[in-house]
């Protein structure tokens, strides 16, 4: 997927390696996003040990982004370019769908 930001088109990072080389984010945001992607990759709905204090049926998408300290721009391209949500309604719903889509 691609993101239009500041008059330019960028490739949305889809894994932790791309997250660290993306020009979409600053250095600290890259590290937070990488941690988020590793969490999503390691998440197993059948193994609560992989949830890391996040109940996917109670924690909202917005709360999940907040837990990892992701800024609004990063949350926007994650929700829309990676998870392919058409609107922001997913932010107030349980995050299990967001995790599965990413």
Helices (H) and strands (E) in the chain, counts: 5, 2
In eight-state DSSP terms, residue 92 is G
Dihedrals φ, ψ of 83, to 5°? -85, -10
What pLDDT score was predicted for residue 70? 97
Size of the chain in residues: 102
What pLDDT score was predicted for residue 85? 95
Among 73, 78, 83, which Cα is nearest to 35's? 78
- 10-residue mean pLDDT profile of the chain (102 residues): values are 86 82 88 93 94 95 97 93 94 96 92
Beta bridge partners of 4: 9
What pLDDT score was predicted for residue 44? 96
What pLDDT score was predicted for residue 2? 84
């Amino acid at each position: 997927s691609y993101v239009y930001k500041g008059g330019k088109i960028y490739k949305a990072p889809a894994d932790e390696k791309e997250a660290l080389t993306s020009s979409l984010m600053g250095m600290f945001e890259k590290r937070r996003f990488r941690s988020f992607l590793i969490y999503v990759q390691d998440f197993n709905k059948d193994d609560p040990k992989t949830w890391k204090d996040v109940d996917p049926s109670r924690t909202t998408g917005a709360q999940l982004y907040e837990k990892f300290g992701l800024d609004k721009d990063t949350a926007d391209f994650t929700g829309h370019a990676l998870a392919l949500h058409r609107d922001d309604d997913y932010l107030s719903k349980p995050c299990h769908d967001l995790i599965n889509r990413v």
